Amino acid sequence: MRLLALCGSLRAVSSNGSALVAAAQLAPAGVEVVIYPGLGDLPHFNPDLDTEAPPEPVLALRREIGMSDGLILSTPEYAHGLPGALKNGLDWLVSSLEFADTPTILINTSPASVHAPAQLREILTTMSARLVEAAFVTLNLRGRGLDAAGIAADPDLSAALAGGLERLVAAIAAQPRARW
């Protein structure tokens, strides 16, 4: 099983990025978590470019989504909203056949950030993602300076991440998505 992970932070050292690397390390046997590296490479979304031959970085993202059984999103909140890079990436997926019905979970690394997760729920529902709410994960990483190894070594954090992954994998196994 292959899970694609999108990080809303473009920072080189990012708590959301670290949570996703830790998730990759904690994934159950037979489950690969692939962290998508190219969110920052996408052009600004422009419907005029969303033709039968969209820009290559867009095709690359859509291919990755199409090859994956599920999606994991972890993002900071900026000014009570989503980071532009993540919203931009999602806008490029609105019209793609590959996205609909993708089993999807959110990892929230800052429980004080309530606006971005609410907006993501609304956007993803509008895009016909299959939100697996029971597998959503909340970790309080704010101000703790933990890297992926530190997260994986923390019993509470690693249990929360591993539990979310297990529930996502079970939901996908019970109802696999259509593959493109």
User: Does the footprint of ligand FMN cover residue 104 (CB under 6 A)?
Assistant: no
Residue 58's Cβ-side half-sphere holds a number of Cα atoms within 13 Å equal to 21
How far from 16 is each of 4, 76, 146, 164, 174, CA to CA, in Å?
A: 14, 7, 10, 15, 28
Q: Lay out the site mask for ligand FMN across 110-149 (x = CB under 6 A, - = otherwise).
A: x-xx----------------------------x-------
Q: Which amino acid is at 71?
A: L
DSSP 81: B
Q: Lay out the site mask for ligand FMN across 62-101 (x = CB under 6 A, - = otherwise).
A: --------------xxxxx---------------------
- How many angstroms separate the CA atoms of 124 and 127, rounded? 5
Q: How far is the CB of 72 from ligand FMN (least distance, A)?
A: 14
Q: How far is the CB of 150 from ligand FMN (least distance, A)?
A: 13
Q: How far is the CB of 136 from ligand FMN (least distance, A)?
A: 17
Residues that bind ligand FMN (CB under 6 A): 9, 11, 14-17, 76-80, 109-110, 112-113, 142
